[in-house]
């Protein structure tokens, strides 16, 4: 059974979300403080986390930072009343997967969760199939291990996802809007420097940042991956 951790300190909202998730067949736990949420991710290993920002003990940003610092790649949907773009961007910089602003449609939320589980399933199937190699870089898709010239490289989770979003296109150009939608869950109308920042990370760690060979800018269009 697929597990969803609901991190929300409003008991009525938490129980309402949990009820709808259980109707859809998910196994659900609720955490009402930041420290409880961090512990639940480590011990219960959920498949998706719904994370409110305004929490006692540690806010949602601190929870997300702690989760990622411990190496967990669990998909996280930030669920909050905050709707300013800077709040969304900050969450994505901490490697949130999606951002839903209250009030929200429960049907939309359920579809987002289902989509994240589908993505995880597809990634696991792909990881079992092969290894990606280009230049002096080797990526073990099963373990998410990245090596360059025999040395281990630490990629942020979103940079890793961006890498394979580009790889899947087999050399075709991807616009920033397409990448934002696919990797971060943004609507195609939202434009930020988030993609550029993570492309810079890929170039710095896996390419030549001064003369990139693998992560190529297509002027006024977007980016493409060249093996």
Could you say which of 94, 124, 154 is where a domain stops? 124
Domain ends where: 91, 124, 157? 124
Indicate which CATH number applies to the domain containing 183: 1.10.10.10
Q: Are strands 137-140 and 145-148 parallel, antiparallel or unpaired?
A: antiparallel
Q: Are residues 71 and 179 in the same domain?
A: no
Range of the domain at 195: 130-225
Confidence of residue 189 (pLDDT cuts 50, 70, 90): very low
Average pLDDT over residues 173-181: 88
Judgement on whether residues 42 and 105 belong to the same structural domain of the protein: yes
Instruction: Give 42-91 pLDDT, tens digit per residue.
Output: 999 999 999 998 899 999 999 999 998 888 889 999 988 766 656 666 76
Together in a domain, 161 and 109 = no
pTM over 0.85: no
Distance CA 218, CA 67 (A): 35
Distances (CA, A) of 179 to 49, 109, 166: 22, 21, 8
Q: Express each pLDDT in 198-225 by its tens digit.
A: 999 999 999 999 999 999 999 888 999 9
Q: What is the mean pLDDT of residues 91-113?
A: 85
């Amino acid at each position: 059974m697929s597990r969803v951790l609901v991190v929300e300190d409003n008991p009525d909202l938490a129980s309402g979300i949990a009820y709808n998730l259980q109707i859809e067949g998910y196994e659900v736990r609720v955490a009402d403080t930041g420290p409880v949420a961090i512990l639940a991710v480590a011990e219960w290993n959920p498949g998706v986390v719904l994370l409110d920002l305004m929490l006692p003990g540690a806010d949602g940003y601190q929870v997300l930072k702690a989760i990622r610092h411990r190496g967990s790649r669990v998909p996280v949907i930030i669920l909050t009343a905050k709707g300013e773009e800077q709040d969304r961007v900050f969450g994505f910089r901490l490697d949130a997967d999606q951002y839903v602003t209250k009030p929200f449609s429960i049907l939309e939320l359920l579809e987002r969760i289902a989509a994240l589980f589908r993505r995880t399933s597809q990634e696991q199937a792909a990881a079992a199939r092969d290894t990606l190699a280009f230049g002096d870089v080797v990526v073990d898709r099963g373990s998410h291990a990245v090596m360059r010239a025999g040395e281990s490289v630490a990629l942020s989770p979103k940079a890793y996802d961006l890498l394979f979003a580009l790889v899947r296109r087999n050399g075709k150009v991807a616009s920033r809007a397409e990448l934002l939608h696919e990797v971060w869950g943004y609507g195609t109308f939202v434009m930020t420097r988030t993609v550029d920042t993570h492309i810079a990370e890929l170039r710095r760690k896996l390419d030549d940042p001064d003369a990139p060979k693998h992560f190529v800018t297509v002027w006024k269009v977007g980016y493409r991956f060249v093996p």
